[in-house]
């Protein structure tokens, strides 16, 4: 009995080092880093239950199998895993939960494109160490980032929807657009100005012609100018941007011609003041206080000058209508103006007033895009919640389609 126990103990002692022996990483591969600009390699290997903080992994590289290898990285073996969200399922170099290490070119070890490199891992724990097989890989730049394929698909799809909506609007421009409250006030404002014999002041904001809000503002100016021409009311449009001024001059001139009043058009109704924010604001405030326009229109994008303009306008008793997509200035417009068009209401107003097929179609296309986003939000939230509750990753196949990967 005692002999058997001693034999068993001896066996256990002999076995003990074998049980604790570390093994080489399984499935170790070196490959060109996907979806990058080159000069980078990626290493992948399977995760192991034996991975722990006390065990380290070293990465050694050389330019040929016979050249001396150089250590380029070292980290604990229980790190550098592929986590959910690192790669989309269609561009994943290794399964989730396995190891992934990216080696970029550095001063310590430069990596060139088109040249093969040889990599091996050293797993070390205490006195024990084991080398992996040597893997070979060649870095190369990629022509397309497959991780962003979903992004490209959405861009192309949205463009298609937009073009289709514009084409549909050209065939049938009488698309229903919800009436916007502020637009009813435009007639009222112009009528009030005509009765009082005072001009209308129209501002197109701080932006250039490359901003949606400025374009919307110029379209609304065209419609306002038509009504102004009809009633023979004065119109003053001070500008911060010379290009916007040039565009508005043409728009106002055409509006007067369209209203049958080319003789009433005044060249200096559109004038440039300065590009500087507060100098412009001071000048416009001066115009408001001296000339006391009966109606002020603030359309476009604005910054800190918004309250300075609207509060001065309010002090003169003018009716004020604002429309902006500058959400940080909305509170000031809402408190000081009689009517405010918020965000996309400004874009919709330009479409509503002009009924131009391009504007109407664009609005419809954007609405479809937003409906799609809302559906994705609801669906994505539901799937993500169910996935967490049921502890399954199966819904990631759908959720990844709507994520942004780099």
Of 126 and 317, which has the nearer Cβ to other proteins? Answer: 317
Note whether 145 binds other proteins by CB under 8 A: yes
Residue with tokens 């001071």: 282
Contact present, 34 and 42 (Cβ < 8 Å): yes
Binding mask 45-84 for other proteins (x = CB under 8 A): ----------------------------------------
Q: Which of 264, 282, 376, 401 binds other proteins (CB under 8 A)?
A: 282
Residues 173-202 that bind other proteins (CB under 8 A): none
Instruction: Compute the distance between CA of residue 386 and CA of residue 405 in angstroms, rounded to an integer.
Output: 23
391 phi-psi bin (left φ>0, alpha ψ -120 to 50, beta other): left
Note whether 375 binds other proteins by CB under 8 A: no
Of 8 and 155, which has the nearer Cβ to other proteins? Answer: 155
The CB-of-131 to other proteins minimum distance in angstroms stands at 32
Residues 387-406 that bind other proteins (CB under 8 A): 406
Cβ-proximal residues to 295 (8 Å cutoff; 6+ apart), any chain: 189, 190, 192, 193, 200, 201, 318, 319, 320, 321
Which residues on adjacent β-strands are paired with residue 3? none
Note whether 317 binds other proteins by CB under 8 A: yes
Instruction: Compute the distance between CA of residue 188 and CA of residue 244 in angstroms, rounded to an integer.
Output: 27
Note whether 164 binds other proteins by CB under 8 A: no
The CB-of-142 to other proteins minimum distance in angstroms stands at 6
Six-digit token string for 292: 């006391």
Give per-residue burial for 58-96: e unless 16+ CB within 10 Å, then b.
Answer: bbbbbbeeeeebeebbeeebbebebeeeebbeebbbbeb
**Binding piece for other proteins, criterion CB under 8 A, among 12-20, 153-161, 182-190, 394-402:** 153-161
Cβ-proximal residues to 345 (8 Å cutoff; 6+ apart), any chain: 180, 182, 323
Instruction: Compute the distance between CA of residue 223 and CA of residue 180 in angstroms, rounded to an integer.
Output: 15
Note whether 134 binds other proteins by CB under 8 A: no
Note whether 247 binds other proteins by CB under 8 A: yes
Note whether 95 binds other proteins by CB under 8 A: no
Note whether 358 binds other proteins by CB under 8 A: yes
The CB-of-4 to other proteins minimum distance in angstroms stands at 59
Note whether 266 binds other proteins by CB under 8 A: no
Instruction: Compute the distance between CA of residue 219 and CA of residue 281 in angstroms, rounded to an integer.
Output: 23
Q: Which of 125, 274, 402, 403 binds other proteins (CB under 8 A)?
A: 274
Note whether 24 binds other proteins by CB under 8 A: no
The CB-of-123 to other proteins minimum distance in angstroms stands at 28
Of 181 and 358, which has the nearer Cβ to other proteins? Answer: 358
Note whether 150 binds other proteins by CB under 8 A: no
Number of neighbours of residue 232 by Cβ within 10 angstroms? 10
Of 194 and 213, which has the nearer Cβ to other proteins? Answer: 213
Instruction: Compute the distance between CA of residue 364 and CA of residue 361 in angstroms, rounded to an integer.
Output: 5
DSSP label at 356?
-
**Binding piece for other proteins, criterion CB under 8 A, among 73-81, 82-90, 182-190, 343-351:** 343-351
Note whether 386 binds other proteins by CB under 8 A: no
Note whether 11 binds other proteins by CB under 8 A: no
Note whether 159 binds other proteins by CB under 8 A: yes
Contact present, 303 and 210 (Cβ < 8 Å): no
Cβ-proximal residues to 391 (8 Å cutoff; 6+ apart), any chain: none
Note whether 219 binds other proteins by CB under 8 A: yes
**Binding piece for other proteins, criterion CB under 8 A, among 4-12, 44-52, 115-123, 339-347:** 339-347
Q: Which of 22, 164, 308, 376 binds other proteins (CB under 8 A)?
A: 308
**What kind and span of H or E run contains 16?**
helix 2-20
Of 23, 83, 17, 82, whose CA–CA distance to 55 is shortest? 23
Note whether 278 binds other proteins by CB under 8 A: yes
Note whether 260 binds other proteins by CB under 8 A: no
Instruction: Provide the pairing of β-strand 339-342 with 116-125.
Output: unpaired
């Amino acid at each position: 009995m005692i002999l058997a126990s001693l034999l068993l103990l001896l066996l256990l002692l002999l076995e003990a080092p074998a049980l604790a022996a570390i093994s080489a990483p399984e499935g170790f591969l070196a490959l060109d880093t996907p979806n990058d600009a080159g000069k980078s390699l990626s290493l992948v290997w399977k995760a192991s239950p034996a991975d722990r903080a006390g065990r380290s992994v070293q990465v050694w590289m050389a330019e040929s199998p016979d050249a001396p290898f150089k250590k380029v990285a070292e980290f604990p073996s229980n790190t550098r895993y592929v986590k959910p969200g690192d790669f989309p399922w269609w561009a994943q170099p290794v399964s989730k939960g396995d190891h992934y290490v990216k080696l970029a070119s550095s001063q310590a070890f430069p990596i060139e494109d088109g040249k093969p490199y040889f990599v091996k891992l050293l797993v070390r724990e205490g006195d024990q160490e084991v080398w992996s097989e040597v893997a070979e890989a060649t870095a190369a730049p990629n022509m397309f980032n497959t991780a962003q394929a979903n992004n490209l698909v959405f861009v192309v799809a949205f463009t298609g929807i937009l073009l289709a909506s514009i084409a549909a609007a050209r065939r049938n421009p009488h698309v229903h657009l919800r009436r916007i409250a502020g637009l009813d006030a435009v007639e009222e404002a112009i009528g009030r100005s005509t009765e009082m014999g005072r001009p209308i002041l129209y501002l197109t904001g701080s932006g250039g012609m490359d901003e949606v809000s400025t374009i919307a503002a110029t379209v609304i100016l065209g419609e306002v100018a038509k009504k102004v021409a009809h009633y023979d009311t004065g119109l003053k449009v001070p500008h911060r941007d010379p290009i916007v001024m040039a565009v508005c001059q043409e728009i106002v001139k055409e509006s007067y011609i369209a209203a049958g009043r080319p003789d009433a058009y005044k060249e200096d109704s559109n004038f440039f003041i300065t590009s500087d924010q507060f100098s412009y604001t001071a000048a416009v405030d001066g115009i408001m206080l001296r000339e006391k326009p009966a109606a002020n229109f603030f359309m476009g994008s604005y910054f800190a000058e918004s309250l300075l303009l609207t509060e001065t306008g309010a002090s003169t008793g003018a009716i004020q209508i604002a429309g902006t997509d500058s959400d940080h200035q909305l509170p000031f417009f809402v408190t000081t103006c009689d009517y405010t068009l918020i965000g996309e209401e400004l874009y919709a107003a330009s479409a509503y007033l002009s009924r131009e097929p391009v504007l109407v179609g664009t609005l419809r296309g954007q609405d479809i895009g937003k409906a799609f986003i809302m559906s994705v939000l609801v669906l994505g939230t539901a799937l993500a919640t169910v996935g967490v509750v049921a502890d399954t990753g199966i819904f990631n196949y759908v959720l990844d389609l709507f994520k942004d990967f780099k």
